[in-house]
Amino acid sequence: MNLTVEQLTTTIEQKKIIEDISIHVYSGQFVGVIGPNGSGKSTLLKTIYRIFRPHGGLLSLDERDIFKLSYKEFSKSMAVVSQEGSVPFDFTVSEIVLMGRSPYKRLLERDTAEDVALVRSSLVKVGLEQFTDRGFSTLSGGEKQRVFIARALVQEAPFLILDEPTNHLDIHHQLHMLDIVRNLNVSVLAALHDLNLAAAYCDALYVVKDGKVVRYGSPEEVITKSMLKEVFQVDCTVTHHPKTGKPQILFISDGMF
């Protein structure tokens, strides 16, 4: 599934938070959005997944205007794992994951054996099969994050939005989660803070600063010493991973010496 974002502007309380952003995610691509804190990454993603209404521009999935899709059509097309996932009541893990099947159901329709099997296989994928009946509130931050990933998986959407999906995860689970997503062969747009992971997993990167796209290209084109200085205000050496050949950043700061 293709995503096209053309000249998108989102204003909150009279302030332009993102301005004139154009992005393309081709079918099956894993595209990253990187940028400093407060640069507008989440606002961009939230506008794409319809939390915010844009004040200008066009958003389309396979040529269809995102804002013209019904709730069910939209939810079957796009799954979201956000950094702010919360659950109002103490549902169990399997109840929360089952919610990912709701776009496929009519009101009060019962869960099918297929739904239950999908929930089970997603929980196995994220390593939470022992947690099926646990109350969500009893889980650690990383376990909660993996529940939301499982919920997105059962949604079986061809487009996945990830807003800092590895926030609470230890390094093993960060790599495991990105491996799972990569192997789904769906289109992905992900805001990532870890630039080495962004370089390792993404086919293309957009760099956002002050609400605007300031760089775009392959990780090799984008992850450079000058970009890191200009956009993130850090000094570094950029080398290459000895096995994958992807850019690898070694940060340098006065306090290290």
Ligand X SMILES: Nc1ncnc2c1ncn2[C@@H]1O[C@H](COP(=O)(O)OP(=O)(O)OP(=O)(O)O)[C@@H](O)[C@H]1O
Residue 124 CB partners (closer than 8 Å, separation 6+): none
Token digits for 129? 């099969």
Integer angstrom CA distances of residue 129 from 25, 100, 118, 183 = 32, 17, 12, 20
The C-alpha atoms of residue 8 and residue 22 are separated, in whole angstroms, by: 6
Least distance in Å: CB of 235 to ligand X?
A: 20
Cβ 84 to ligand X, closest distance in Å? 10
Q: Which residue has the tokens 């919360």?
A: 86
Query: Considering the complex, what minimum distance in angstroms separates the CB of residue 114 from ligand X?
Result: 36
In the bound complex, what is the minimum distance in angstroms from residue 39's beta carbon to ligand X? 4
Q: Which is nearer to ligand X, 210 or 220 (CB)?
A: 210
* Count of residues making up the chain: 257
The binding track of 146-185 with respect to ligand X, each residue x by CB under 6 A or -, is ----------------------------------------
Judged by CB under 6 A, the chain residues 39 through 98 that form the site for ligand X are 39-43
User: Smallest distance, Å, CB 230 to ligand X?
Assistant: 16
Distance, CA of 93 to CA of 132 (rounded, Å) = 5
Q: Which residues of 234-257 are buried (b: 16+ CB within 10 A; e: fewer)?
A: eebebeeeeeeebbbbeeeeeeee
- Binding map of ligand X across residues 111-140, x = CB under 6 A, - = no contact: ------------------------------
Binding mask 3-42 for ligand X (x = CB under 6 A): ---------xx---x-----------------x-xxxxxx
Binding site for ligand X (CB under 6 A): 12-13, 17, 35, 37-43
